[in-house]
Chains A and B, each alone.
Chain A
Amino acid sequence: MNYQWLDEDEALRLCRNGDTAAYAVIVRRYQSEALRFTYLITGERGAAEDAAQDAFLDAYLHIRRYDPNRPFRPWLYKILSNAALKKRRKPQPQPLDDNTPSSADPHTEAVRDEQSATMQLALAQLPEAQRAALVLKYYSGFSENEIAAITGAHVGTVKSRLHYGKLALERIIRERYPWLANEHAASPLTFDKETVK
């Protein structure tokens, strides 16, 4: 069988039967977004790799618990989320690595780096639950219902976490990193003062 064109459903079906080649297809299909997600949660590249690695192993071992009638991605994210939160260390924002993808425009790159650093510093200060909810919604694109399923919380709790997470993010940036907020008033990290108390 050629696995290159295996669709996800079929790959998962094969995985449940212990077909490791099919699981390689799944891993390679999701590893990029998994690493980005775990990185956003853990804030460390090494921890992100460890978390993603643990999660994919865990997912494979428990693949029979996955309900094939439901989307696979939220199920995987539940495992990723748990693994990432376990790996999360004390807030220790890391300097950006040298191999940060470069953009064609040095100015754009510089702005983006600073935005990234700001967001990284701010995210690191957030409570885990708020951080996970924000990343799941605004980066991974899950709905509030899906986030509730992934995190095991009620939808109302998720909404609350998102609301207060956003407020906290703004407050942290404003209070703890005013130089970043002020220097880049026109950057995407500026905040609407009318909504910040």
Chain B
Amino acid sequence: MNDEQIRDSLRNLAATAPRTDIWPRISGQVEQQKPRRALWPHLRLRPLLVGLDALAIAALLFITVGPLGLVNPPAQRLGPNSGIAHPATQPAGISPTQATNDPIVGNLRDDGSPYHTLTDFVQRKAGDPDLMLPTYLPAGYKLSDIDTHGMFLVGTTASGKTVTETIRNHPWQANYQRTSPNLLPRLMDIRVGLRGPQDSSADFYKNLVGDTNPATLIARYQRPDRSIELYHNDAYAPKSQIAYVFVNDPNNSGQIMVAFIIEATYEISNDDLLKLADSIEQVDPEHLTSYRYGRTPEDQQSDQLVMVRTLVSRSGIDLSTVKVKNNFTLAELTDFMDGAASYMLPSALPAGYKMVDDIGAGIYGYDITDTTGVRRMVVEPSQFGWYVEYHKDIAGQDQQIMRLHESGHVRVARAGDTLRRSVTLPNPLDAVGNPSYEISGGYTSDSDRLTARYRRPDRIIELYHDVRLGPSQDRYAFVYFANQDAQYPLTQVSIYTPESMSDAELLKMADSIERVDPQRLADYQNGRSPAATPVADSTNQSPASPETWATLRQRPLALPSLAPGAGCPTSTGKQVSPDFGLALGDGPVYPVGFGASGSASYQGSRVAGGWYFLKVVWAGDPSYKGPILVRGRQIDGPNELRFSDGDNPPTELQLDTSAGGWTSSGWNNWVDYTRVRTSGCYAYQIDGLGFSKAITFKVTDK
């Protein structure tokens, strides 16, 4: 049996799989849930941290390990290798019959209600919640909810009683979130499980979390009723810490050990983490709400900015004397940055629009002053951008019409990108639309929605809209400017216009954006005369009309047919531009990605709907302007050739030089997928204004 035979057989078998639309089945549960706040492994440093000076970060992350200020009597601190024995051994798992002599006679099953709030949980447990929660929480944190998978088994006992029991190793999880409205959420999870008698800490973690604990054991603490293990995880950003708490379960006469995993960032000090671990106790169901916020005085100040407070306290400033501000209008931001602020704003606004910028424009930094107004500390703003909104009076009501958002200084080519290239372009604008570079920030350039690109010496303007909904809906524009900054070579300004503003107006506004002298901000509140700046004299091309596409489509597909087994007369790859790899054909539009031999393999590629993905760059000679229609089929067999994405991919590819990208030498380029179901000899037919070309290539599975 060779690989192809297995593949074919599996495909045939898979064709009999159900074709259920899953989304309606899960949408209800998804709508009620939020993604769990996994602190690691992959949560990246949020922009907030980017702006903090190194000293502050160092101070913030400075860790002192010690059981300071515990609510309960101080724990005995032991070394990381002290090998504390488990306080108790216990039978494996909680048996549904353990609490009763009325045995379950059958039909024990998952009750199919996998997600529960705290209140639900208590109700389901009929007053026996078996719930343990911390009474102490770091300042600002609140319990957001509780959720779990397959928490309950339901069964019928010999006497006909319906019983419900918790499934072992499918415990609950509590998510805590600092809910200050002025900060990005900081998160902490508490997971609860039952530790088996033979489980090591590592086994327990893996069973509960489904992954290996990447953290390093720092210390163990022993108290009469619990042991606490503290781990630091420096493997991922942000660095985090984990505490295990092993407690004898009072509901099981010490026979069951309840184990907690508390995951937290270093924003929470070791002291706070230990306090929290130390405060976990059996919950009285009548007083559930008191566990939502903890009960220390600090917790009542839940809207305080915990991170800034930490920074301030580490700086020796009396917390009670300071005011912290982190939202700024543009004018305030200018002051905050000592005149170093820089804005790009439009000077031409359509009639009736006014700028509103007192909206707490994101996170920029912290201005900490004491109660007498003396500035005590400035935490540097992040390079995260700002935004303002434009409002308009519509039928007597002030409504938000559009938003202008500067995405800060857009990096070209993110670290780790496979497309990464050193940013040494003489003009960074050449990276826009160039498939060799990826621009992060805002929306990623998406050729599906890009309808036109305009180029001026100092900027590139891209217009996007959903072509299926028509030109008046969901439109936005990107305006790129070049910087003399090696690290941030592009600035991207986004204009979102969810209103029926014409493309011409949008373009005029994008064209009027200029760097603003902070002293003249007031001039930009209402926009200056539209006549002050000319409309772009760009290399404007109108997109091809539907009639033009229809004309091209009417050309018959005139591709040769080969006898099965005949050799595939592939086109030979050649260099047509230094901007691209080897290309096939003689233009003016060339597929790139088939090498010198004119072949490509789908081995290891994605597959959707049985269609494999072959990534193909289309290179367009600068001399050709207009639409290009690409179609194709297998010429040594009956199979189709399709394009782009999806389970049912389109049968044709439309390329238009009014909407493609450019390379520095002026070549157009588009990136798309060619889709095939199987290997064979294929051919494209490329139709444009005044030409029709066929290009033959081979697709293999090796």
User: Chain A residues in contact with chain B, CB under 8 A?
Assistant: 1-2, 4-5, 7, 9-10, 15-16, 18, 20, 23-24, 27-40, 45, 48-49, 52-53, 56-58, 60-69, 73, 82, 96-97, 100-101, 112, 115-116, 118-120, 123, 134-135, 138-143, 146, 166, 169-170, 173, 188-192, 195
**Inter-chain contact B1/A170, CB cutoff 8 Å:** yes
B369 to chain A: closest CB distance in Å? 32
**Inter-chain contact B448/A63, CB cutoff 8 Å:** no
**Inter-chain contact B147/A61, CB cutoff 8 Å:** yes
Contact with A along B26-50 (1 / 0, CB 8 A): 1101110111111001110000000
Partner among A1, A60, A68, A97 whose Cβ is within 8 Å of the Cβ of B16: A97
Contact with A along B1-34 (1 / 0, CB 8 A): 1111111111111111111111101110111011
With known contacts A16-B35, A61-B35, A35–B22 Cβ distance under 8 A: yes
- Distance, CA A160 to CA B19, complexed state (A): 33
Partner among A28, A38, A48, A57 whose Cβ is within 8 Å of the Cβ of B30: A57
User: 30 interchain pairs (CB within 8 A)?
Assistant: A5-B446, A5-B448, A7-B444, A10-B443, A18-B34, A20-B30, A24-B27, A28-B23, A29-B608, A32-B647, A33-B609, A35-B19, A38-B17, A57-B26, A57-B29, A57-B30, A68-B42, A69-B416, A73-B606, A97-B16, A119-B9, A119-B13, A138-B7, A139-B14, A166-B1, A173-B1, A188-B5, A191-B1, A191-B5, A192-B1
Chain A, Cβ-Cβ closest to B469? A2
With known contacts A28-B23, A48-B18, A64-B43, A4–B468 Cβ distance under 8 A: yes
| B466 sits at the interface (CB 8 A) | yes
Partner among A23, A53, A65, A115 whose Cβ is within 8 Å of the Cβ of B12: A115
**Inter-chain contact B37/A64, CB cutoff 8 Å:** yes
**Inter-chain contact A138/B3, CB cutoff 8 Å:** yes
**Inter-chain contact B606/A141, CB cutoff 8 Å:** yes
Residue numbers in B under 8 Å from A191 (CB-CB): 1, 5
Partner among A5, A53, A116 whose Cβ is within 8 Å of the Cβ of B9: A116
- Distance, CA A60 to CA B474, complexed state (A): 26
| B449 sits at the interface (CB 8 A) | yes
Residue numbers in B under 8 Å from A69 (CB-CB): 416
**Inter-chain contact B1/A120, CB cutoff 8 Å:** no
User: Chain B residues in contact with chain A, CB under 8 A?
Assistant: 1-23, 25-27, 29-31, 33-38, 41-43, 114, 147, 149, 210, 416, 443-444, 446, 448-449, 466, 468-469, 473-474, 602-609, 612, 646-647
With known contacts A7-B444, A31-B22, A189–B13 Cβ distance under 8 A: no
Chain A, Cβ-Cβ closest to B33? A61
Chain B, Cβ-Cβ closest to A26? B23
A15 to chain B: closest CB distance in Å? 7
**Inter-chain contact A32/B608, CB cutoff 8 Å:** yes
- Distance, CA A81 to CA B111, complexed state (A): 23
